[in-house]
Amino acid sequence: MRKLLLGAVALILAGGLAFYLLTMPVTISAAALPDHTPDLENGKMMFTAGGCAECHAAPVKDCDGLDVEDETRLAGGRCLKTDVGTFHVPNISPDKESGIGGWSTLDFVNAMKRGVGPGGVHLYPSFPYTSYQRMRFEDLIDLKAYLDTLPPVQSTVPAHDLKFPYNIRRGVGLFQRLYVDGKTFTPDPEASDAVNRGGYLVMGPGHCTECHSPRNALGGIVASQAFAGARSPEGKGDAPNITPSDDGMADWSQEDIAYFLETGSTPDFDVVGESMVPVQENMARLPAPDREAIAAYLLTLPPRPDAVTGR
């Protein structure tokens, strides 16, 4: 009996050590950052393409509403109600106490590319760093510099309210082992400059896969069904298939997609709705060549059956 007990204790200790080692935060060193003078105009463009205000600006009324008070006041306060619990979107204004005003550029880069906050805290992937990790260091430096010019807002946001085992934050390290590598988007040498620009915007700051792709039980995107549509984690409608398949955008031209991103109007005279509205409004603020580039890239995706309807 004693041997069994000692064996069980040894297994528990070994499992605990393995969990500790596997969930250790992986971060980027200061030496990896380029010597780059921040470009505030580009930082503002990254802010728009990334939809930062869409999640982090204080909501007008209900925490799960789409309308925000002022897109420059990033006080947080929005809530994302999902099957695993409620995520409360944090304050990312430059307030030093309740926001990220005390963060260094390196802190910010590690949050965006590795999903790790100051002090080695794992960030939940409700913050789409699995896409933001594809962004260039220079764009992240520009974005942080732009955020620092916005009004600091004193606002404390509630902690996430998640079910077990999702409330064990350290466990996010296991997710990051599988889905976070910190690698920047790699242009396709066979593709045009426009397609590569569109790919960067879609896969990086635009984080289009996050909504338009189904996820597995771990919360990771199912790569074989990327962009093929997904059910909303908040239970409000579905994100459509945006691959060039028969049940996706096979009938859309590059001009159709670019026009939709600019105006919200579809080729069949429908209009954008629900949570896509603020996304489209952000896309409308980008330069026309960027919208055209996004359209060009989407049409290069492999056609896939709709992941929601299963057709």
pLDDT of residue 234: 59
Specify the residue for token string 């994302």. 80
User: Which two structure tokens, joined as six digits, stand for 161?
Assistant: 């309210």
pLDDT of residue 233: 67
How far is 241 from 155, CA to CA, in rounded Å? 37
How far is 307 from 249, CA to CA, in rounded Å? 14
How far is 191 from 188, CA to CA, in rounded Å? 5
Cα 115–47–200 angle (5° rounding)?
A: 70
pLDDT of residue 83: 86
Average pLDDT, consecutive stretches of 10 residues, N- to C-terminus, the chain (311 residues): 69 71 88 96 96 90 80 90 91 95 97 96 95 98 98 92 92 94 96 97 96 91 93 75 92 94 87 82 95 97 88 52
pLDDT of residue 276: 84
